[in-house]
Structures are given as structure tokens and as C-alpha cells.
Amino acid sequence: MTADSRLLSLLGMLAAGRTYTASELAAHFGVTPRSIRRDMASLRGLGYFIESLPGVAGGYRAESRTVLPPLQLQTGEAIATAVGLALLNGAGLSTSDAESATAKLRGMLPPTVRESVGEISTAVTVLAGHEPGVDISVVITTASAIASSVVLTFDYTKRRRQDLAGRATADRRSSAPSVRASTSRRRVEPVRLVVFGAHWYLYAWDLDRADWRVFRLDRMCSVHATTFGFSFREHPDAEAAVSSAVTTAAYRHRVVLHVAASVAEVEAWFPTRSATIVEMGEAARVEFGADDLRWAAVITASTPVDVRVVEPPELLVELRELGKRASRVGETGVMRSSAGASEVTAISTDTTGTTGVTADSAPTLGDSAPA
């Protein structure tokens, strides 16, 4: 082994943060302790911080964060790295650093492997308008704060619904709540990042509100990881908390159904990204949130098996109203609003037979996650 090769190997061993004596290293490389001391002097001359510890338990040690030796990747490792970078791009989180890393990775590989990496790099794309809308710097800063157990600060924009349900019954078409936004400064002890549906969420202990909260990363800005550490705090399951906050707590109404089917069957009618589904013997308990119970009535009535409404009782009223309206449409092909102000004839379908649905009529997943 040449002196240069030995230096690279030394860097790789020291990068783990372990302490080695000169005798251990000399025996490992088959050289004298004096050669090891010269190697350490050479590494220090190159700018690496190598610490000498005195005593019987002493030796040489380097902080892992100060040592970044050249990577030696096997073919499988290189392809796995390329896939990871491609998935980063596919998640809409590509950066100039990821692109330059891919370019360097391709430059160090044999021609056949380089071609495979190039194909992988372009195999994943994000359709315009479907990007997650989260800044990767926010992801990195938040993840670093979680790993280091330090307090995270940021500005958070929260959307609040204004309940307009008090309007006259004749104005039912306008009973959906309006939304206004407000921004506040937050100080939290971050616990977990959770990807749920189309969004990234942070589960954290809010220091000012003394409570566990869920935050959407695309509504966080001016994110800063402080130097103030914190001790471990017992907390509820982060994934369950995010699921509950997004599917139920964010909405005006909490709907609970008992559905006579297995969990696997129910998941086809109530996706887990919009509902919490729990097994109940041979049935399933479904819980989800809704701002408009008319929408919940349509979903409930469309379930192709027996369903029992547990709550809210107001949903039964909407189901009866939906039944009357459906009966009128079935008999006449014409549907009039309860105010009699508009008329809708047969619901149009496209050439594939898919019923047209107005996107604005469906709730936005996690659009008001509590924080």
C-alpha cells in the first residue's frame, strides 16, 4: 500500500469518530508507529483536525464532521445513490447541490454504469402544478433541528375558516366557510417530519402554547435552528397525531361511521390520506372531517355496503335531503336548488364515462391543519 492510499484509508477510519492508538494503526497497516505519526502530521498539513489524546487510553481521533474523505462506491452503491437523487427530484425537492452531485457521480463511473445513472436521473419527473411547494432548505433545517434536539423558530401562516353557516337556509349554496390567513412567530421543540398525502408536516411541542401542534412545511418561512437544546419529552405517536389533525381536527364537522366491511375494502372508498380507519371485528370505524355535511352525505350514501351513522346527527338530515333530491332527479332528470334559483339537468360525463366534478367542491387535504 502506498503512502497516499494509506492516508485515504486513515481518513475513512477516523471519520467514524473512534480513537485509535499509533500501535493499533501500525499493526493494521503493517508499518511502524513512527510512520503513523508522519501520516498524522501529513493529514494535519492538509487541513484535517486530528486530535492527539494522551494517556493509556489515548491515541488519535477526529470529529467525524471535520473529515470527509473521497467516497469509494461500488456499482450497486452508486446506482442506489443515483436513485435517491432522482427521487429527490421526483419529490419536487431538487436543488443545484443535488444536480451537481449527480453530475459528479456520473463523472466517476465506468461508461456502462454512467449510462444507467443518466437514465435514472431523468426517469422521475413532477407534473407542473403538482410540486409539493416546500422549500428544501426548510426540510433540511427542520430535519437538522430534530436530529440535534435544538429549538426551531419560524413564521407560520395559518388559515382560519370563518363560519358562515348562520345564513338563511335559502342561501345554502353559500354556507361554505370563507378563509382568512394570519401569520405568527413560533418557537417549537421539533419531534418528527411526516409526509402525509401531498404535504410535509412537522410535529412539535409549541413552547409558547404549551401543547403539541402540527405544522405544514409549505406555510413555514424564516426557519431557523437555534443553539438552544431541549430534553426528550414524552409525546403521542407523531404519525397518528398528524393523521388526526389533517383528516378530522381541521374541519367544522367530525363524521364517524361504522361500515360493514373489512379495513382493506373500506380503504378503497375512504383513502387513509383523508380518513382514519380502524378495525372493529368484522366491520370498520371510519372517521373523517368535513366543512360541508352535504359533501359528507354524498360520500356516505355512495358507500356500497351497510353503513351506520354514529355522529353527527345533523348528517342524517342531510342524507334525507339528499335522498329527496336524488329521487326528483331520477324521476324528472331535473334538479332544482332548495332556493329554486337554479336548474341543473343531467350531470355531464366525458367520453370515458367519468362524471365531471368541480375541484373546488372537494375539501383540500390538510388545508387547515391545527397549529
36: domain CATH number?
Answer: 1.10.10.10
Residues 110 and 190 in one domain: no
| pLDDT value of residue 130 | 60
| pLDDT value of residue 65 | 53
- Cell reading at 182: 394570519
Give the strand pairing for 59-61 and 51-53: antiparallel
Residues 11 and 56 in one domain: yes
> Does residue 286 form part of some domain?
no
Residues 206 and 238 in one domain: yes
Q: Are 82 and 115 in contact (CB under 8 A)?
A: no
> Does residue 53 form part of some domain?
yes
> Does residue 370 form part of some domain?
no
Domain hosting residue 219, numbered range: 137-244
> Does residue 231 form part of some domain?
yes
Residues 108 and 180 in one domain: no
> Does residue 351 form part of some domain?
no
> Does residue 33 form part of some domain?
yes
Residues 58 and 82 in one domain: no
Residues 87 and 35 in one domain: no
Query: What gap in Å lies between CA 296 and CA 277, rounded to an integer?
Result: 16
Residues 101 and 27 in one domain: no
| pLDDT value of residue 304 | 92
Q: Are 205 and 235 in contact (CB under 8 A)?
A: yes
| pLDDT value of residue 351 | 34
Residues 148 and 224 in one domain: yes
Spell out the per-residue pLDDT of the chain, length 371, in tens: 778 778 878 877 877 677 888 888 999 888 998 998 898 888 888 777 788 887 766 788 876 555 555 556 666 777 777 777 776 766 666 667 777 777 777 776 667 767 776 676 666 666 666 666 677 788 888 988 998 899 999 999 986 655 444 443 334 444 445 556 788 999 999 999 988 777 889 999 999 999 999 999 989 999 999 999 999 999 988 888 888 787 777 778 889 999 999 988 888 888 767 788 888 888 999 988 888 889 889 989 989 999 999 999 999 999 998 888 888 888 877 766 554 444 444 333 333 333 222 223 333 333 344 56
> Does residue 275 form part of some domain?
no
The alpha carbon of residue 66 and the mean position of all alpha carbons in its chain are separated, in whole angstroms, by: 30
Residues 43 and 86 in one domain: no
| Residue that is written with C-alpha cell 397549529 in the block | 371
Residues 240 and 165 in one domain: yes
Residues 155 and 222 in one domain: yes
| pLDDT value of residue 169 | 38
For 263, list phi and psi in degrees, rounded to 5: -60, -40
At residue 83, what is the residue type? V
> Does residue 18 form part of some domain?
yes
Of the CA atoms within 13 Å of residue 175, those in its CB half-sphere come to: 18
Total structural domains in the chain? 3
Residues 7 and 85 in one domain: no
Query: What gap in Å lies between CA 81 and CA 172, rounded to an integer?
Result: 54
Question: ∠ at Cα 149 (87, 250), nearest 5°?
Answer: 65
